[in-house]
């Protein structure tokens, strides 16, 4: 049984969560939602909405310098793309699939 989650439901879950409300920016949540929808459309596979799993699997960074505090590899966005999934936001930030 899979429940359909709208963009608004997705964003509101994070915004209302006391522990996870600062996990992603508003722009990051929109970009992550788009990425997940594109994945579903591209694979034909439905994703179960598991926000805790998403918080463990993805991390948002404001810039490359912040990213480099956690990872030694990847000096620019193209190098990081060779290592993992990168989801760019409308700001200069980005989300990666943790590796």
- Rounded Cα distance between 57 and 42, Å, is 20
Is 39 contained in some domain? yes
Domain hosting residue 60, numbered range:
7-97
Asked, for residue 30, whether it belongs to a domain, the answer is yes
* Cα–Cα distance measured from residue 39 to residue 14, given in angstroms and rounded to the nearest whole number: 20
How many structural domains compose the chain? 1
Asked whether residue 2 is domain-assigned, the answer is no
Block means of pLDDT (10 residues each) for the chain, 99 residues, are: 87 96 96 97 94 97 96 95 97 95
What span, in angstroms and rounded, lies between the C-alpha atoms of 49 and 11? Answer: 12
**Rounded to a whole number, what is the distance in angstroms from the first to the last CA of the chain?**
29
Residue 72 lies in a domain: yes
> Do the domain assignments include residue 47?
yes
Asked whether residue 1 is assigned to any structural domain, the reply reads: no
Q: Give this prediction's pTM.
A: 0.92
The answer to whether residue 89 is domain-embedded is yes
Please check whether residue 77 is in contact with residue 85, taking contact to mean a CB–CB distance below 8 angstroms.
no
The pLDDT of residue 55: 97
Is the residue at 79 inside a domain?
Answer: yes
């Amino acid at each position: 049984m899979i429940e359909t989650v709208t963009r608004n439901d997705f964003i509101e879950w994070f915004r209302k969560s006391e522990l996870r409300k600062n996990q992603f920016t508003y722009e990051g949540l929109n970009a992550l939602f788009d990425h997940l929808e594109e994945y579903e459309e591209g694979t034909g596979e439905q994703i179960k909405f598991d926000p805790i799993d998403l918080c463990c699997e993805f991390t948002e960074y404001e810039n490359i310098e912040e990213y480099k505090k956690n990872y030694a590899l990847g000096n620019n966005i193209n190098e990081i793309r060779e290592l993992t999934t990168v989801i760019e936001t409308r700001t200069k930030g980005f989300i990666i699939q943790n590796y």
